[in-house]
Amino acid sequence: RSEINPTSKHLKVFNLKLSDAGIYTCEYDSRTVSVSLHVFELTISSGGRFLPNEVPQLTLVQNSTPPLPNLSITLYNSNNDTVRSKPLQNTPQKYILELKELEATDSGTWTCHIHSDSPLINQKIPFDVKVLGFQNPDLERKYATVDSSVILSWHLNFRNIKWKEGFTGQLKWKQLENAMQHELLDFNVTKWGEQHETKKSSHFQFEIPENKPESTIELKFPKVHLDHSGQYQCLLLYKGQHTESKIELVVMKVSANPAGPLPRGGKMTLTCQVSSPLPPNAHLLWKRVNGTQTDIKKSKPNEAKVEVNVSAAGLWSCCLIEDNDMKISFNYLVEGTPAWTHYVVTGASIGGGVLMFGLACLCIISGIRWQQRRKRAKRMIQARQYLLENKTCQCKQ
């Protein structure tokens, strides 16, 4: 495991081990030179591969000619920020440190800085930390309106951190906090980075986009319904441990009662509601576009619905506000009954009245004429009978 450079007389040792520590002496002619080799071995638990919230342990072992120096150890993360550690074992030969809970953003090359005053040691040892997880936050809220299209996305970091181990995952959904979960799909990623997904549920129709970005899990609803709302949980599973990221889908629906155009002099109630209770820092707001301050109606705290009474045509907008930031809005156009429709109805009413009056007059005239014809026919029958009776009497004489 060693070789000497014939020209420079340098000794090169390969695959250095702790047992290689000690004093190396070079004798050349009458000259003797001795060098003390101090060997450090740094190891990190789990081979440096973790899931978020795991707590790694770092072990530093040293070997040299006695006495072994007392070491000062400082750790730096990939952003060159100092990382606090908790000593679990601290002997001259072996140091074991417990680090903080990891996050996905902690992935990168860390540095262990070793210092000693006697003998003087300033050694930096780099080591890799890889935290498999999501680039999404642990929980985020996404908003959509009924009948719109929405895509839910989870971005995995396995390619960015050059993760070389296989792992699996699942995507689950539940509508309410304490409701039963439904598994929508499962997926696996091989150590070569190949990603495969399989649909598992027919609870409702959804699509897996074909042209989605690499290293993502996506779910698409071409037409959102109110019952698509709820909590979507994406799980990563690795060596019996798991990490998760959730997206809460909030769906907004707007309706009018009565539906259809607003008749002249009539009233309409516009209702705006969302599928789940709002957090304390959020509220719903009805406002008339280009309206005044009086044309605004705000929901009460913790209410997921707001109503406004409308008596005139115009464009109204329902907004969901969170921390003074508008997250979603839905415009509803209240249409009034056209003026020509009013005139047609009025004209039809008047025309209908005239027609009914005319029909009534016609019926009366027809009735009078019928009575007159009946009386005339009756008189003719009486006259004919009278003539017959008189003729019979003359024949008898």
Segment 259-315, tens digit of pLDDT = 888 888 889 999 999 998 888 889 999 999 887 777 888 998 888 999 999 988 889
Give the bridge partners for 188, in sequence order: 168, 196
Residues 108 and 52 both lie in one domain: yes
**Total domain count, the chain:** 3
The pLDDT, as a whole number, for residue 108 is: 96
Residues 192 and 112 both lie in one domain: no
Residue 161 lies in a domain: yes
The pLDDT, as a whole number, for residue 27 is: 85
Residue 371 lies in a domain: no
Domain boundary at 229, 251, 273, which?
251
Q: Kind of pairing, strands 139-145 and 121-131?
A: unpaired
The pLDDT, as a whole number, for residue 343 is: 43
Residues 157 and 107 both lie in one domain: no
Residues 165 and 234 both lie in one domain: yes
Measure the N-to-C terminal CA separation of the chain; round to a whole number of Å: 174
CA atoms in the 13 A half-sphere facing the CB of 187:
23
SS3 state at 173: strand
The pLDDT, as a whole number, for residue 270 is: 94
The yes-or-no verdict on residue 364 having pLDDT over 80 is no
Residues in the chain: 397
For the four alpha carbons of 187, 192, 194 and 196, in that order, the dihedral sign comes to: negative
pLDDT bin (cut points 50, 70, 90) of residue 123 is: very high
The pLDDT, as a whole number, for residue 303 is: 87
Give the mean pLDDT of 113-123: 93
Q: How far apart are CA 306 and CA 299, in angstroms?
A: 5
Q: How far apart are CA 110 and CA 100, in angstroms?
A: 13
Residues 275 and 323 both lie in one domain: yes
The pLDDT, as a whole number, for residue 346 is: 43
Q: How far is CA 54 from CA 84, 101, 131, 161, 188, in A?
A: 15, 5, 9, 17, 21
Average pLDDT, the chain: 86
Give the mean pLDDT of 50-65: 95
Output 355 or 100, whichever has higher pLDDT: 100
Q: How far apart are CA 240 and CA 89, in angstroms?
A: 27
Residues 44 and 85 both lie in one domain: yes
Report DSSP state, residue 277: P
Residues of the chain with pLDDT > 90: what percent?
59
Reference 115, options 72, 64, 67; nearest CA is: 72
Residue 287 lies in a domain: yes
Give the bridge partners for 245, in sequence order: 234
Give the mean pLDDT of 127-152: 94
Residue 216 lies in a domain: yes
Residue 241 lies in a domain: yes
pLDDT bin (cut points 50, 70, 90) of residue 390 is: low
The pLDDT, as a whole number, for residue 374 is: 62
Cβ atoms of 252 and 286 closer than 8 Å: no
Domain boundary at 283, 315, 333, which?
333
Residues 158 and 81 both lie in one domain: no
Range of the domain at 210: 139-251
Please classify residue 242 by burial: count the beta carbons closer than 10 Å to its beta carbon, then call 0-12 exposed, 13-18 middle and 19+ buried: middle
The yes-or-no verdict on residue 213 having pLDDT over 70 is yes
Output 11 or 347, whichever has higher pLDDT: 11
The yes-or-no verdict on residue 179 having pLDDT over 70 is yes
Reference 38, options 122, 133, 97, 159; nearest CA is: 122
The alpha carbon of 226 is separated from its chain's Cα centroid by a whole number of angstroms, namely 14
Cα 65-15-97 angle, rounded to 5 deg: 65
Residues 84 and 173 both lie in one domain: no
Domain boundary at 202, 218, 251, which?
251
Output 341 or 353, whichever has higher pLDDT: 353
Residue 59 lies in a domain: yes
The pLDDT, as a whole number, for residue 279 is: 85
Give the mean pLDDT of 84-95: 92
The yes-or-no verdict on residue 348 having pLDDT over 60 is no
Query: Two tokens at 115?
Result: 């210092």
Query: Two tokens at 55?
Result: 């707590």
What residues contact residue 146 under an 8 Å CB cut-off, 6+ apart?
224, 225, 226, 251, 252, 253, 254
Residues 92 and 114 both lie in one domain: yes
Cβ atoms of 43 and 95 closer than 8 Å: no
Residues 127 and 143 both lie in one domain: no
Residue 6 lies in a domain: no
Residues 155 and 192 both lie in one domain: yes
Residues 186 and 245 both lie in one domain: yes
The yes-or-no verdict on residue 387 having pLDDT over 60 is no
For the four alpha carbons of 10, 11, 15 and 19, in that order, the dihedral sign comes to: negative
Task: Could you list the beta-strand ranges (E) of 157-215.
Answer: 167-174, 182-189, 195-199
Task: Read off the CATH number of the domain in which 272 is found.
Answer: 2.60.40.10
Residue 302 lies in a domain: yes
